A and B are shown apart, each in its own frame.
Chain A
Amino acid sequence: MTALEAGLLLAAGLLALGPAGALVAQRTGGAAIVSGASAALATAFVAVGLWALLAAGPPVRTVLPLGLPWIGAHFRLDALSGFFLVVLGLGGAAASLYGIGYMRHAAAPGRVLPFYGPFLGAMALVLLADDAFTFLVSWESMSLLSWALVVSDHRDAEARRASYVYLLMAGLGTMALLFAFGLLAGAEGGYGFEAIAAAERGPEVTAAILFLMLLGAGSKAGVVPLHVWLPLAHPAAPSHVSALMSGVMTKVALYAFIRVVFDLLGPVAWWASPVVIILGAATAVMGILFAIVDGDAKRILAYSTIENVGVILVALGLALAFRANGMTALAALALTAALFHVLNHMLFKSLLFMAAGAVLSATGRRALDALGGLIHRMPVTAVLTLVGVTAIAALPPLNGFASEWLLFQGILQSPGLPQPALQLLLPATGGLLALSAALAAVCFVRFYGVAFLGRPRSDVAAGAVEADRWSLAAMAVLAALCVLAGILPGAAVDLIAPAVGQAAGGRVPPQLGNPWLTLVPVAEVQSSYSGFLVLVFTTASAMTAAWLVHRLASRRLRRGPAWDCGFPLADPATQYGAGSFAQPIRRALGGTLLAARERVEMPPPGDLRPARHAASTEDLAWTWLYLPVAAGVGALAARLNGLQFLTIRRYLSLVFVSLILLLVGLAVWN
């Protein structure tokens, strides 16, 4: 049995977990068995993906007699899909492990379990598909199954609205993909990926396909301004599904983009890359700005996903720019950064969503302003979350820093590009990325500080208890992987190399032989980074400092009053809250980008009502893009509605006039 057949069997197993989940959902322990089975299958996917990466042989293909008669369903396993299978397997296994504990106290497991396994299976099939038809069917199944998971809490009006917006955007995205594959079709309409890759096409068609892919895959990945569904839908799902949607499904969308643009499309003109880079930079900055001003723990994480997708998109655009100029090694560097960040973002975003889920099940609240002081009630969760926020804030020695550092190495090579436009654009992009990395640090200091530090802001936060063992185990695995990928970036880069080689045609030099586990992306004289040494030095200096402090000062543990801005009130609401943390950034950057407004309602003298201060932000994409489009569609529909109530004679005239117009058209065109 080849690895591909094993992968297909595993996907079939995951699909079969759907009916099984529906059958056993109501039984005690049923959810645990189904979640455990999906964890095992997902772990096996990691093995399949690793095999494809390490064997690094030619792609394995097979045809199953499914789908369209006489055409069948084509599947293929190569290094690129292998890498993404590893991402899917790790994320899926951790989420399933978490699900064992989480589903125990779920309100309606019957609404989640039947869709959970098939959702994983559909994502695996997207990664394995080798013809447009199979790809689109798997893609649409993935969309619909995740939609079902989003709407699982159907009594919540927010979740219903989220699922509606998600369904619309998913439809738009699939339509764009459909058009893209229509343009991609090879000679004689071959829709197999081999025929597509072999076909010749002009620069205009290539650019059109690229933009359609940006629309189709970008809407699923959350590229601004197609991101609006993401902060609604990702938080609405159960937390381990949120982790899957943010950590894995956005990556599957990026896989679609990489597969088509880097693998199938052939050479892309250099002027297409600035579009990708600018979109990516805008996505990164806007995503993290939204995250900073939002007050909902899970929505913050969803917005941060948008930021990370932007970072990856910049790396992909950079790789396109380098590749268009024949600089294969640098293209490989940028693509390595992109894929490494794909892996890292899956690790820490899944971890953080699970942490948010643990907090949600312990307190029942998602609003940061209802939390606080959880580090005392949920110490293990707090430590694991700290690893996650350190990683996502791109602090060394964790993995988020390693991949963003690689990306910056790529951007620093941009003066070598021949086009002045790119030479000007890329330093500015680097600045924007640095800004978004700094803002991410702000965002997660706020996230962690408000939720876990300080004093509890509500009774439920004060009475929270630690999460169950399964959830903690899942988070611990992800946190350990975050640390591991942070101090062994060379191993990760070497592992990614076959996938990069397939998509970019080159690779970064092998890293595992370097002394001190150092990462040397281009040349020793230019730059190198060793997560291991940073870990050693930070640990050593921190321990020395702690030892010195305790040695020189008193060893005695002292307890004093919590810092209260010199305003000794007992009320925990006087602490710094989510809004107060966000205020400086909101005022500095949000005025235009978020349309941030502040309003103070001061009652007249003698009135006993308290004065009120209200801060509001809005998503300009809603105001300027979606609401006008929705209004236009509504107006058009209202006008067309009149067509249902015409007189007989007007219907006849309609037929008559359209016939005449067609005939005139025929006469003119001939």
Chain B
Amino acid sequence: MDGLAFDIAHLLAGGLVLVSFMMLYQDRLYALLNVFALQAVVLAAAVAWQARIQEAHHLYVTAAIALVFKAVIVPWALHRIMQRLGVHREVETVVSIGPTMLAGMGLVALSVVLMLQLTAAADNPLAREDLAFALSVVLLGLLMMVTRRNAVSQVVGFMSLENGLILAATGAQGMPFVVEISVAFSVLIALIVIGVFLFRIRERFDTVDVGALDEFRGDRQ
């Protein structure tokens, strides 16, 4: 593999992690959606580049799916949901931005150390680093779900976690195409389910703050 191809793949995967960090400190919902769309674009680019250097043409389809669904349809749908819900545009974070960013850095360090250690026997440096970045994106997505109280941003965190999974799936060579399609569909279904769920919460409690659920159960912490 020539140096440039490696560098570009590295850049794109690293960009994905960077965008994940950007999502962590967005405290407005619309901005969060925009960053999420940006992440999907970067993901599509990374997958397309993988398709090129691995000469695995079915990965172009995966890239297209990522671009169409995650960069366009899902943010647009969430945008509409938010408009229809009329939710206020502030993201209420449970943990403030600073500690969240520090925790995120810790997670990235953990995943890089862990992945490079575990895959020491593998001879493909690109796959190794891709896996490290993918794990970082997954963990950052989880971190976002944990540190936010708003259901919409929890949804976004979940979708960004899926992005990490797709990156991992495409970084490894010979991943069957069926799996990627099913991943895309599962994300779509999750979106639908969560969308319905949001409306339900909204109908019942007049807010999408999941804290309202706790209040309803009488054990607000």
Interface string of B139-159 (1 = CB under 8 A from A): 100110110010000100000
**Which one of B110, B145, B221 lies within 8 Å of A667 (CB-CB)?**
B110
Q: Chain B nearest CB: distance from A417 CB in Å?
A: 55
Complex interface: stretch among B19-27, B63-71, B162-170, B212-220? B212-220
Q: Is the CB of B94 within 8 A of A649?
A: yes
Q: With A649-B146, A655-B142, A656-B142 given, name 8 new contacts (CB 8 A).
A: A645-B217, A647-B211, A647-B221, A649-B145, A652-B142, A660-B110, A663-B114, A666-B118
- Measured between beta carbons, the chain B residues less than 8 angstroms from A554 are none
- Measured between beta carbons, the chain A residues less than 8 angstroms from B111 are 663
Q: Chain A nearest CB: distance from B211 CB in Å?
A: 8
Q: Is the CB of B142 within 8 A of A648?
A: no
Q: Give complex CA distance A667, B146 in Å.
A: 23
Q: Is B210 positioned at the interface, with any CB of A under 8 Å from its CB?
A: yes
CB-nearest residue of chain A relative to B157?
A652
Q: Chain B nearest CB: distance from A479 CB in Å?
A: 68
Q: Chain A nearest CB: distance from B111 CB in Å?
A: 7
- Measured between beta carbons, the chain A residues less than 8 angstroms from B210 are 647-649
Q: Is the CB of B110 within 8 A of A663?
A: yes
Q: Which residues of chain A from 617 to 663 have a CB within 8 Å of any chain B CB?
A: 645, 647-650, 652-653, 655-656, 659-660, 663
Q: Chain B nearest CB: distance from A634 CB in Å?
A: 22
Beyond A649-B146, A653-B146, A663-B110, whether A670 also contacts B94 by CB under 8 A is no
CB-nearest residue of chain A relative to B220?
A647
- Measured between beta carbons, the chain B residues less than 8 angstroms from A656 are 142-143, 145-146
- Measured between beta carbons, the chain B residues less than 8 angstroms from A670 are 114, 117-118
Q: Chain B nearest CB: distance from A640 CB in Å?
A: 16
Q: Give complex CA distance A649, B142 in Å.
A: 11
CB-nearest residue of chain B relative to A664?
B110
Q: Give complex CA distance A653, B143 in Å.
A: 8
Beyond A647-B214, A648-B213, A649-B149, whether A659 also contacts B142 by CB under 8 A is yes
**A interface majority secondary structure:** helix
Q: Is B113 positioned at the interface, with any CB of A under 8 Å from its CB?
A: yes
8 closest Cβ pairs, A-B complex = A667-B114, A647-B214, A653-B146, A656-B142, A656-B146, A670-B117, A652-B146, A645-B219
- Measured between beta carbons, the chain B residues less than 8 angstroms from A655 are 142
Number of interface residues of A (CB under 8 A): 16
Q: Give complex CA distance A647, B221 in Å.
A: 8
Q: Is the CB of A667 within 8 A of B219?
A: no
**Would you list 11 pairs from A and B whose C-beta atoms are within 8 A, ordered by A residue?**
A647-B213, A648-B210, A649-B94, A652-B145, A652-B146, A655-B142, A659-B142, A660-B110, A663-B114, A664-B110, A670-B117
Q: Is the CB of A667 within 8 A of B117?
A: yes
**Which one of A647, A650, A653, A666 lies within 8 Å of B114 (CB-CB)?**
A666
Q: Is B56 positioned at the interface, with any CB of A under 8 Å from its CB?
A: no
CB-nearest residue of chain A relative to B120?
A670
Q: Chain B nearest CB: distance from A647 CB in Å?
A: 5
Chain A residues near B (Cβ < 8 Å): 645, 647-650, 652-653, 655-656, 659-660, 663-664, 666-667, 670
Q: Give complex CA distance A178, B113 in Å.
A: 40
- Measured between beta carbons, the chain B residues less than 8 angstroms from A653 are 146
CB-nearest residue of chain A relative to B107?
A660
- Measured between beta carbons, the chain A residues less than 8 angstroms from B107 are 660
Q: Chain B nearest CB: distance from A301 CB in Å?
A: 53
Q: Chain A nearest CB: distance from B4 CB in Å?
A: 32
Q: Give complex CA distance A652, B139 in Å.
A: 12
Q: Give complex CA distance A670, B213 in Å.
A: 42
- Measured between beta carbons, the chain B residues less than 8 angstroms from A667 are 110, 113-114, 117
Q: Give complex CA distance A647, B218 in Å.
A: 11
Q: Chain B nearest CB: distance from A185 CB in Å?
A: 31
Q: Which residues of chain B from 107 to 151 have a CB within 8 Å of any chain A CB?
A: 107, 110-111, 113-114, 117-118, 139, 142-143, 145-146, 149
Q: Chain B nearest CB: distance from A574 CB in Å?
A: 65
CB-nearest residue of chain B relative to A666?
B114
CB-nearest residue of chain B relative to A645?
B219
CB-nearest residue of chain B relative to A653?
B146
Which of B107, B118, B145 has most A Cβ within 10 Å? B145
- Measured between beta carbons, the chain B residues less than 8 angstroms from A660 are 107, 110, 139
Q: Chain A nearest CB: distance from B190 CB in Å?
A: 15
CB-nearest residue of chain A relative to B118?
A670
Q: Chain A nearest CB: distance from B164 CB in Å?
A: 13
- Measured between beta carbons, the chain A residues less than 8 angstroms from B145 are 649, 652, 656
Q: Give complex CA distance A656, B110 in Å.
A: 14
- Measured between beta carbons, the chain A residues less than 8 angstroms from B214 are 647
CB-nearest residue of chain A relative to B145?
A652
- Measured between beta carbons, the chain A residues less than 8 angstroms from B219 are 645, 647
Q: Give complex CA distance A648, B220 in Å.
A: 11
Which of A647, A650, A653, A664 has most B Cβ within 10 Å? A647
Q: Chain A nearest CB: distance from B94 CB in Å?
A: 7
Q: Give complex CA distance A667, B217 in Å.
A: 39
- Measured between beta carbons, the chain A residues less than 8 angstroms from B139 are 659-660
- Measured between beta carbons, the chain A residues less than 8 angstroms from B217 are 645
Q: Which residues of chain B from 187 to 220 have a CB within 8 Å of any chain A CB?
A: 210-211, 213-214, 217, 219
